């Protein structure tokens, strides 16, 4: 068995677009997850999980509810790209729960509407 670190790794929610181009975005999310793993984090990417058993077209509201619940189990939310409506809901939920939200483009913490605090 490989040597595992003694400390608990950070669980990072991957906040990334999906619905506008699922195939393209899934490939991008896979690359993001690989980078997070390389940095010792545990990525949580519903874009890769939920489409395995849910239909985006008919179960969008349920998928969003699941995503918001998954945000709650993370230590941090990282935002990749310009926030979509669904991403803004995830950002707002993280902020409501006091979970740090970071824009990967700028490194800044984001406020509840997906924008840097003023």
pLDDT score of 115 more than 60: no
Residue 60: C-alpha distances to residues 10, 31, 35, 47 (Å): 28, 24, 28, 12
pLDDT score of 113 more than 80: no
What is the separation, in whole angstroms, between the first and last Cα of the chain?
A: 48
- The secondary structure of 63-76 as a DSSP string is HHHHHHHHHTT-SE
Per residue in 65-98, pLDDT (tens digit) is 999 999 999 999 999 999 999 999 999 999 999 9
Contact 67, 60 (CB under 8 A): no
Q: How many CB atoms lie under 10 A from the CB of residue 99?
A: 17
Per residue in 27-61, pLDDT (tens digit) is 999 999 999 999 999 999 999 999 999 998 899 99
C-alpha to C-alpha distance for 14 and 108, rounded to whole angstroms: 16
């Amino acid at each position: 068995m490989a040597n595992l670190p003694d400390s608990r790794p950070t669980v990072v929610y991957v906040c990334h677009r999906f619905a506008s181009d699922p195939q393209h975005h899934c490939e991008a999310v896979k690359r993001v997850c690989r980078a997070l793993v390389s940095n010792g984090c545990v990525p949580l990417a519903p874009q890769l999980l939920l489409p395995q058993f849910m239909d985006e077209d008919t179960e969008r509201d349920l998928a969003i509810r699941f995503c918001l619940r998954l945000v709650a189990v993370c230590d941090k939310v990282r935002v990749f790209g310009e926030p979509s409506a669904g991403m803004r809901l995830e950002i707002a939920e993280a902020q409501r729960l006091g979970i740090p939200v970071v824009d990967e483009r700028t490194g800044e913490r984001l406020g509840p509407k997906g924008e840097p605090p003023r």
